[in-house]
Structure 1
Amino acid sequence: MTAASRLSPLLAQFDFACKRLVDRMTGPVMDSGDGTDTEVGCMTDEEYLWEPVPGCWSVRRRVDGPGPRATSLAGAGDWGRDAASYPHPWPPPFTTIAWRLSHLGEMLALRADHTAGSHALTRDDHPVSGDAAGAVAAFDASAAAWRKALLSVDEAALDTVGYCTYPHGSDPEEPFIDIVWWVNQELLHHGAEVALLRDLYRARPR
């Protein structure tokens, strides 16, 4: 299936960002940014859940309840992601790799569903993984779902306000192409944060 012409550069950017992030988490090498390979180790469960400062938001076993300043655990399954209803805590809690990766996967999966699926999935339907390998696999599946949804839209859909009915963003008020741009921005933004956290974990005092 061929992407709508105006989507092509955004889809290429999305594909590159996804591959770079997954390679950064799994290794054995990643693109350093100039096309050369840089060796990188596979992310461990300890690193995935590492809390570099007190009061982090993360993913937690549901039986343990939410973390500091969180009021609920979002998601489905035995694990959930720290969350709070509006207004969110200020200043914002520092978040772990686990939290950021769960947030990205949920955003992609739900937006895919609210673009080309049932238009019914909620945060309570999206599973949360307590281990690094499961989280990376879930992210891969969510990214594939979003990519498939993008390939289903035509040029007219790109200009349609509210084409995506995702309920946790500005989707109802924005042309769909602006939402596609925003999703890429979120992926690049949080992907860079994950990479930095991996660097800090590697350099932490022993």
Structure 2
Amino acid sequence: MMTPPRLVPLLAQYDHASRRLLDRLRGPTVNSGDEVDVPVPPLTDGEYLWEPVPGSWSVRPKEDGPGPGATVLVGAGAWGRDGGRPHPYPPPITTIAWRMHHLTEMLLGRADWTIGDHSFTESEMIVRGDAVSAITSLEEAIGSWRAALEAADDDALDAIGHSTYPDGGDPEEPFLEIVWWVNQEVLHHGAEIALLRDLYRASSAASG
């Protein structure tokens, strides 16, 4: 199936943002934006779980219970992601681990509620406690959402509720709006993760 012309630039943007984020996480280099490859060390477990300020939300062993301000550890397995509604205000600072899980969950969930069996819930998703597994899960989620984009024709882009993902406005929005929204999620969380990597490198935690 030919990609609808309206989708072409958004798909290219998604691919670029996703590739740059994965390169920032696993290294060994990332393109700086001016065709210069900058060395990037692979994400370590210590950095993945680093809390930049006291009270940060993260992923943590279920046996430890939720972090400050959280009421539940969301997800399946031995680890969970800090959560609970209503969210505290102001929103807590979150770790690289929390942000990566959030992105992975969103991409997998939207893919399932678009071209899957519409059964995905946050409670069934395995929360990864180490950096390597988390990067692998994120890469798989990126591919799952791309498959949903590749399956969309012009009619699907205009269809309201083509994605019925329940944790967003998807059932009330044309699919093209959801495609745009997911792109900005990858872009802005990718930038946040990159900044946290910079802060970690400059902190005492990196040398401790």
TM-score range, shorter-chain basis? over 0.9
Q: Deviations over 1:75-114 (max 9, x none)?
A: 11111110011x2100100000000000000000000000
Q: Which residue of 2 aligns with 1:161?
A: 160
Q: Which residue of 2 aligns with 1:8?
A: 8
Rounded Cα–Cα distance in structure 2 between residues aligned with 1:2 and 1:203? 46
The answer to whether the 8 A contact 1:105-1:138 is kept is: yes
What letter matches 2:99 in structure 1? R
How far is 1:62 from its partner? 1.1
Determine helix, strand or coil for the equivalent of 2:6: helix
How far is 1:4 from its partner? 2.3
**Gapped regions of structure 2 (runs ≥ 5):** none
User: How many residue pairs were aligned?
Assistant: 205
Q: RMSD value over aligned CA atoms?
A: 0.9
Rounded Cα–Cα distance in structure 1 between residues aligned with 2:159 and 2:64? 43
How far is 1:33 from its partner? 1.3
How far is 1:73 from its partner? 1.1
Determine helix, strand or coil for the equivalent of 2:179: helix
Determine helix, strand or coil for the equivalent of 2:30: strand
The answer to whether the 8 A contact 1:57-1:67 is kept is: yes
Rounded Cα–Cα distance in structure 2 between residues aligned with 1:29 and 1:96? 22
**Gapped regions of structure 1 (runs ≥ 5):** none
Determine helix, strand or coil for the equivalent of 2:7: helix
Q: Deviations over 1:115-143 (max 9, x none)?
A: 00001111012111000000000000000
Q: Which residue of 2 aligns with 1:176?
A: 175
The answer to whether the 8 A contact 1:79-1:130 is kept is: yes
Structure 2 counterparts to residues 1-206 of structure 1, below 5 A = 2-85=2-85, 87-205=86-204, 206=207
Rounded Cα–Cα distance in structure 1 between residues aligned with 2:13 and 2:36? 18
TM-score normalised by the chain length of structure 1: 0.97
Rounded Cα–Cα distance in structure 2 between residues aligned with 1:11 and 1:181? 9
Q: Deviations over 1:33-73 (max 9, x none)?
A: 12211111111000000001000000011111111110111
What letter matches 1:57 in structure 2? W
The answer to whether the 8 A contact 1:4-1:151 is kept is: no
